[in-house]
Amino acid sequence: MVALPRAIVWILLLWTEVLQPDTVESAYYQSRPQSTAVLQGETIVLSCAFAGLLKDEAVSVSRAFNRHRVVGKPSRGEFNLEIQDVQREDTGGYRCSTLSVEAASDAVLTVVVPMEGPPEITGAETSLEAGSELYLRCKSRGGFPAPKLAWYNGTRVLPTSASSEENSSERRMIELFIPRLSKWDNGANISCVANQGYLKIVKPRTTSRILRVNYPPTISVPSPSIHVKEGQSANLTCYVDSNPRADLTWTKMGGVLPIGSIQRDKTLQIPRVSKLDSGVYKCEADNGMSQIATGAVTLEVFYPPKIDSSMDSKVTVLFNQDDFSLKCQADGNPKPHIRWRRKDTALRWENPLRFHRIRYDVEGIYQCIATNDGGVQYATRDVEIDVVGQPDIRGGQSLVTANSGNTARLYCDIVADPVPEKAKWVWRNNQGVETILLPTNNGIMINEHTTEEGTTSIVTVQEVREEDGGVYICKATNMFGSDQKEIRLNVKGSRSSLVAIISVSVVVIVLAAAALVGVLFAKRRGWIFRNSPQGLAHTNTLPPYSTVERHRPEGEDGGGVYTAIREETSTTDTVMVHVEPPPPPPSKDLKSRWKGGRSQAGVRGSTADHEEENVLNEIQADSV
């Protein structure tokens, strides 16, 4: 390798001596030789050219180098070195120079010899488990220049743990050590790259190994909670990550899988869900390793409200019962809001339906309404509340006023279940004597009629008189008990009777005054009270005023009025004066009004149509 540059230098020196004239201009490099590389077996030309040399001079070249020759146009100063079938031993430095020009730097020729093949990787021939260590070794054979080895994970360079040379001219080796593998190393592409450094001549050689790392399964649930409407389909999914592939099974916690459900790979399909399918579904993955993975999906089924069918359609309660409640049970998802309303009304109650005390007006049809989903979906159920118990006589007028001679009507509104057979009327006069009223009494009529609320019993007193006044008692009875109501009837006298009473009173007062004056006058004259009996009257015990007392002496006829007159005087005589009252006004003969017969009864009634008549009677009486 050293003889070659010398030969070239020699050739050029010989050539320059022959061409040197007496007068030579200064020569210089027109093209300097450049270092280069060439693939073994190819032809390479190293360029070299001068300027300022004489022309048309012959140059002789030694035949000792049959693969080397000088090529180019000497007339242009080109003296290029061509090497054919380049071999590894041609690698070295080459110099092109002349005596008159300072020599340029050597041009280095590198002959590249490719490797015999790609590098070899040993280790991890079988699958490894997560948590174990990894040891790989990479070796290259042949090649000049010797290749550099490097580890790659995909495109990422891995740090090299160790490297060595078995034979600098033949083999190189590099190692890779990973102390703990994880599941993320599974499928990793670990490559060993051998690079000789001349990419344009020979490309790097690569050998790869795909790691197989076994690891237990893990489960990820994309949708832990699924909401569907009843009747729709549902897909429950569990993603499983494992190596080797795990078997996935589905179960329903606290139940069995829905009929018709299908398991396809990672998904459990339910074609048509019902409200019974709601619950938690568990997916379980097993690949034979020590750990089994589980996941859970909650299926929530939305369905419209439904009221419990076991609730009675009719409920019977007792009249006057306290704290009655009726609860409506309804199922639905979302949970329904339950309210009550009375049918055909706007009345609303929350659930449960409560009444502090049961009255007959509570009786009716009530509707339980269960709504959800903003009130769009709802369910209803009617319940009849039937009130039974003792009669209840509704409040009405307890005082009725009528003019003498007019007609008076007394109303008794009765509500009861069961309905009383009869309503009994009793009259208690002003002296406290009670008499059972019968429809056979003269001037008395007892009628009854049925209303929407019950029964109304009516007592009609025709041509009412003052002695007809008093308390009228309406009484109703059934198997649960009884109730009664008292109505007072006030009878006002007629105008003629009033005038007669006033006239009689005036006459009595005038006569009494006249008698008093006469007695006083007779006493002053001494005509009376001269010899008064001892102890009959004592002036020192009499009050300092006079009193007039009217009474009926025993044994006297009731047709007159007797007046005893006392006056402060010196005597104690007492004078009895008898005053005849005017005859009473004529009266009708209705003495047989309260005799004989049976009473009639009523049960339920309304007071709206007859209270006006009682008020009218009072107005007429007040006008008198």
- The model's pLDDT over 166-194, given as tens digits with 9 standing for 90+, comes to 545 678 899 999 999 999 999 999 999 99
**What is the pLDDT at residue 164?**
57
**What is the pLDDT at residue 409?**
92
CA dihedral 608, 612, 617, 620 (to 10 degrees): 170
Helix %, strand %, coil % of the chain (to 5): 15, 45, 45
The three-class DSSP label of residue 313 is: coil
**What is the pLDDT at residue 298?**
96
- Asked if 385 and 476 touch (Cβ cutoff 8 Å), the reply is no
**What is the pLDDT at residue 499?**
60
**What is the pLDDT at residue 568?**
37
Q: Where are the domains of the chain?
A: 3-112, 116-211, 220-302, 308-388, 391-494+600-623, 498-579
- 308-388 is classed in which CATH architecture? Sandwich (2.60)
- Asked if 384 and 368 touch (Cβ cutoff 8 Å), the reply is no
Question: Going by C-beta distance under 8 Å and a sequence separation of 6 or more, which residues neighbour residue 278?
Answer: 299, 300, 301, 333
Which residue in this structure is represented by tokens 């190994």? 209
**What is the pLDDT at residue 598?**
35
Displacement of CA 453 from its chain's centroid (Å):
43
**Apex 565 CA angle, 560 and 566, nearest 5:** 160
- The highest-level CATH class for domain 3-112 is mainly beta
Which residue in this structure is represented by tokens 């022959």? 18
The three-class DSSP label of residue 214 is: strand
CATH number of the domain at 220-302, out of 2.60.40.10, 3.40.50.1220, 3.40.50.2000, 3.60.9.10? 2.60.40.10
**What is the pLDDT at residue 218?**
94
**What is the pLDDT at residue 74?**
80
* Residue 93 CB coordination number (10 Å): 15
Question: Going by C-beta distance under 8 Å and a sequence separation of 6 or more, which residues neighbour residue 253?
Answer: 279, 280, 281, 282, 296
Which of 90, 89, 92, 131 minimizes the C-alpha distance to 108?
Answer: 92
**What is the pLDDT at residue 51?**
84
- The model's pLDDT over 13-33, given as tens digits with 9 standing for 90+, comes to 334 333 344 444 577 888 899
What's the fold here for domain 391-494+600-623? Immunoglobulin-like (2.60.40)
Residue 333, token pair as written in the block: 């998802």
DSSP string over 162-191: EEEEEETTTEEEEEEEES---GGGTT-EEE
C-alpha 103/C-alpha 122 separation (Å) is 52
State which residues of the chain have pLDDT below 50: 1-24, 56-61, 167, 532-592, 594-624
- The highest-level CATH class for domain 116-211 is mainly beta
**What is the pLDDT at residue 207?**
95
Q: Do domains 3-112 and 391-494+600-623 have the same CATH topology?
A: yes
C-alpha 277/C-alpha 295 separation (Å) is 18
**What is the pLDDT at residue 76?**
83
Region at 75 (left for phi over 0; alpha for psi -120 to 50; beta for the rest): alpha
**What is the pLDDT at residue 364?**
93
**What is the pLDDT at residue 327?**
94
